Amino acid sequence: MNLSLDQDLSLLTLVMSASWVVKVVLILLILASVASWWMIFVKFYVLRREHRRTESFEQEFWDTNDTHSLFKKISEQKDKSGIEEIFRLGYMAYANLISQPGANPNNVMDSTRRTMRAAYQRELDALETSLPFLATVGSVSPYIGLFGTVWGIMNAFRGLSNVAQATLAHVAPGIAEALIATAIGLFAAIPAVIAYNRFSHDIDRLANRLDVFMEEYSIFLQRQAMRS
């Protein structure tokens, strides 16, 4: 590297002149940032749609007087929301058990609740997909960037051993290219942390709504079982 006062310190030049270790760090951080942004957009769309469909189904469920017709309608859909799948499986379990001769309403409701609880857990697992990756990017990226910065600064100071008189012009390019790694690390980490916290909150809200629906639906089915 030609260290002079009029040296080009543009971002591209600094990155291209960085050591291979720093370049590898930058590539890893950029890939992590791109992947996390992709997951952020996908997860935002999925959760927004899930909240909207949950609200729509709850309204439709409590407005209808014919749950069998609603069950048939939901069963014919290829793409079902979490609350629709919980309702469908709960209805199937209840209908199959209550139709058996000598069925005990308490046993029927216990089995129905377990069925809905299993569906509920599967839906939560699906919603939480990619959250561990965002958490990892948010927590690890600053340290990866810091590693690249430390390595770059070490190289910058090692280069001073061949210079008779060290000046700011000699050390500035090396330090500048090293600090880019920290900047990219923060650029990857900050959106990932914000998105992780936001999505965790949204999933918790949705989980509470599904849990409340299961309890209310269980009460609804229990009343029907008592009348059977």
**Mean pLDDT for each 10-residue chunk of the chain (228 residues)?**
48 64 86 95 94 93 89 90 93 89 84 94 92 94 90 74 59 72 91 96 95 92 79
Q: What is the C-alpha to C-alpha distance for residues 175 and 156, in angstroms, rounded to an integer?
A: 6
How far apart, in Å, do the first and last CA atoms of the chain sit?
86
In angstroms, what CA-CA distances link 27 with 23, 32, 44, 99, 218? Answer: 6, 9, 26, 61, 52
The answer to whether position 79 is within a domain reads: yes
* Backbone CA torsion sign across 193, 36, 79, 128: negative
Residue 160 is given by DSSP the state G
The confidence score (pLDDT) of residue 226 equals 77
The answer to whether position 20 is within a domain reads: no
The confidence score (pLDDT) of residue 1 equals 43
The confidence score (pLDDT) of residue 177 equals 73
The confidence score (pLDDT) of residue 127 equals 92
| Number of separate domains in the chain | 1
The answer to whether position 194 is within a domain reads: yes
The confidence score (pLDDT) of residue 15 equals 62
The confidence score (pLDDT) of residue 2 equals 44
The answer to whether position 168 is within a domain reads: yes
The answer to whether position 89 is within a domain reads: yes
The answer to whether position 7 is within a domain reads: no
Domain that holds residue 157: 26-227
Q: What is the C-alpha to C-alpha distance for residues 195 and 59, in angstroms, rounded to an integer?
A: 29
The confidence score (pLDDT) of residue 22 equals 77
The answer to whether position 171 is within a domain reads: yes
The answer to whether position 3 is within a domain reads: no
β strands within the chain, DSSP E: none
pTM assigned to the model: 0.81
